[in-house]
Amino acid sequence: MSSPAASPIPPRPRDLAPTLDRARSASLPGMSLLFRSVPGVIGLGMLAIIGLLCLGSLPWTVSAVVPPGLKAAGDDAPRVVRFDLQNRQALRLPPSWTWPDIPRPAGGATEPELAPGTLQGRIWSLAVDSALRQRADETGVTIDALLATKPVVTYDQAMAALPTYLLGTDVLGRDVMVRCLVGGGISMGIGLAAATIAVFLGTMYGALAGYLGGRIDGVMMRIVDVLYGLPYILLVVLLAVAVDGTLDAWQQARARETKTRSVAFIDVELARTPEAQRTPETRARLEVQARERFGVGELSQAQRLSINVVTLLVAIGGVSWLTMARVIRGQVLSLKAQPFVEAARAIGVSPGGIFTRHLLPNLVGPIIVYATLTVPQAILQESFLSFLGIGVDDPLPSWGKLAADGLGELNLVNSQWWLLLWPCVLLGLALLSLNFVGEGLREALDPRRRPR
């Protein structure tokens, strides 16, 4: 009898190393296409610059400072966040690089002859005020005490103290550059957070619908279709109104409870106080103690602004995951029919193991690409909602809110063009850079778009 044919020997694990190396080397050119794509490199560079300027400067732009001329007050001096620092002498000033020159006084005069209403006159008034405030801080007195002495400011002193506003000032004398930086940080932060929520919800929902299939998939996708038919602005407005109503009701209930506890505390303390000492001063002191102990029952401005921002990013992220869910569902349906998934199911791998080990790694490419394209969409939605007045509340700025404020300053008589130009330019550059990066990632991760 002839001996049976020898069965093929399966390759040892070390024999698979060359195959894995070839697979890795084949995937590297695809990833390197992001840096070979000119739009991708341009977008990545612009995004890095804008991100460093807006997000990196947040510790400086949101820091609390003492207004010039009030440092002598010490701990009693008011502190204002830098992006909300106002200067009454610098209302609606254009960028400083467009300012006309201030002529030097002729003869023995201390001030140049300038009309008060002209731009030169306003700039000179700003220079004199800045010099006086700088002198007050240096000498350790308040600006009011210094003005009582009728000080004299020379031309050189005024010009040395003249502040610089690279992008101009707004209607309250605030630096537009600082507000654009803070607005960019807020817009990009809300966009990134909302995109993260949208990517997470869309990935989980689409993967679950595609993996379960059947009637469950049909029901889940019909829910997505219904949500697609609703305008997202309506959903955001409804969510914002619901949150505001809930906060107002909770704040009113808390205020009533705090008032009741304060009144009870004052009555108990007055009952313990001898009748001869029950004076209005004693009652006022007890009211202060009750306010310090129980509070006033209202949210602070910082708490309300935080709730407003969180509500906005949740609302935007809650309506931006629908496209991601459809894309991920289609990818999962395609991957489910692949042989490696059938093999994993045949050897007894659990559904969770199939998703985490086989499906999710193959979904990383589409997730990254659509996440990159979701971020500019979320930023644009936030800016649009703030432009309509239902986004970020005052005094927080955002690119959309700054553009809305600047639009109201455009007129045929005296147009403050810088209030509208700079927020729109920064918003457009950010959106273009993000779309360029997304296009580069799509070319890098999509095999059908790679050059052959």
8-state DSSP, 72: G
CATH 1.10.3720.10 maps onto the chain at 176-449
Distance separating alpha carbons of residues 5 and 443, to the nearest angstrom? 49
List phi, psi (to 5°) of 140: 80, 25
With beta carbons less than 8 A apart as the criterion, state whether 400 and 391 touch. yes
pLDDT given for residue 95 in this prediction: 93
pLDDT confidence of residue 36: 66
Give the CATH H-level superfamily of domain 176-449: MetI-like (1.10.3720.10)
Per-residue pLDDT of the chain (452 residues; tens, 9 = 90+): 444 444 444 444 444 334 334 433 333 344 455 566 777 788 888 888 998 999 889 899 988 888 888 887 777 778 888 999 998 889 999 999 999 888 888 766 778 888 777 888 899 989 999 999 998 888 888 888 888 888 888 888 889 989 999 999 999 999 999 999 999 988 888 888 888 888 899 988 998 888 888 888 889 999 988 888 888 778 777 887 788 788 888 888 888 888 888 888 888 877 777 777 777 787 788 888 877 777 766 777 777 778 878 888 888 888 888 888 888 888 888 888 788 888 888 888 787 788 778 788 888 878 887 888 888 888 888 888 887 777 787 788 889 889 888 888 887 777 889 999 999 999 999 988 888 887 777 777 655 555 55
Exposure b/e, 360-387, CB count within 10 A at least 16 = b: eeebebbbbbbbbbbbbbbbbbbbbbbb
- Cross-strand bridge partners of residue 81: 64
Triad 149, 154, 158: Cα angle to 5°: 100
pTM of the model: 0.78
